[in-house]
A and B are shown apart, each in its own frame.
Chain A
Amino acid sequence: MAVNADFVGRTYPPSGPYPVSPQALAAFASAVGSTDPVHTSQEAAREAGYRDVIAPPTFAVTLAQECDRQFIEDPEAGVDFTRVVHGEQRFVHHRPITAGDEVLGTLTVDAVRQAGGHAMVTTRIELATTGGEALCTSTSTIVIRGGE
């Protein structure tokens, strides 16, 4: 089943809010081998000028993948999740995601392309606080492998 190209340009209603806990930031930092104390020590984070502990550079994916479900699990989108491979990922941080943030994510389908029997879908998620402060733009391209 082909990915539905009519979805290009579609923006879903915001999902969330997702609360950001210091425990989640510390667990993620540990899992990617980070030793930077700004993720685990409130004192170190404040010395560096942050309100509280902050997220590692790729933590936003945990929030973005929650938002992505809206599209990937939308039966009309035609995405066969069992054939999905992550092709590309990019983050632009507007300010570090910080413990205590309540995050909303707004997903837009930027592109749907067919190439070599595969489909490639680029989604963009704008993460912001419930107060409207921009946090991160997460852009992801997934490849849905074709063939049988």
Chain B
Amino acid sequence: MAVRAFAQTAVGDVVGPRTVPVGRATLVQYAAASGDQNPIHQDESFARSVGLPDVIAHGMWTMGAVGSVVEEWAGDGGRVVEFGTRFTKPVVVPQSGSQVEVTGVVKTLDGGSRRATLELTATSGGDKVLGRCLAVVQLD
């Protein structure tokens, strides 16, 4: 992949949109890869017993999935130098699966450092699941 060039990037450029599917198997895979084995992300009856509507995705899975969209835009995952978010709503994952819609926009560009700040939006079932999600990308 080629790293995105500063000269070819403008404020207002759109990132995505991407539709990311998420199923129970995705969460089992993320739990194993991340070490976060909290049963609310895998066990429907446990999730309901603590007052959740169903199994919910790990917030960090959602953030990670958005990170994958950002690194695809950047052209190299190592160029994502800052990345932060608030977790505003859970991604509910019924047995039939769910999806997350990811889009973003270039908010600011810094000519000195050749860095772009992206604002990302992630929604699932019509709800914004992340808030104030910002990534800084080091461009070429």
Contact = CB atoms under 8 A, between A and B. Distances in A.
Chain A interface mostly: mixed
A33 B77 contact: no
B77 to A, nearest CB: 4
Contacts of A24: 33
Nearest to A94: B81
A2 interface: no
Contact of B59 (A29, A55, A66, A86): A86
B84 A91 contact: yes
B72 interface: yes
A36 B76 contact: yes
A31 B57 CA distance: 12
A101 B83 CA distance: 21
B84 A88 contact: yes
Given A32-B65, A86-B59, 19 more contacts: A24-B33, A31-B30, A33-B65, A34-B67, A36-B1, A36-B77, A48-B78, A57-B64, A57-B135, A58-B64, A61-B34, A62-B34, A65-B34, A85-B87, A87-B86, A88-B86, A89-B63, A91-B82, A96-B78
B60 interface: yes
B29 A30 contact: yes
A86 B87 contact: yes
B1 A31 contact: no
A54 interface: yes
B22 to A, nearest CB: 9
B80 interface: yes
A16 interface: no
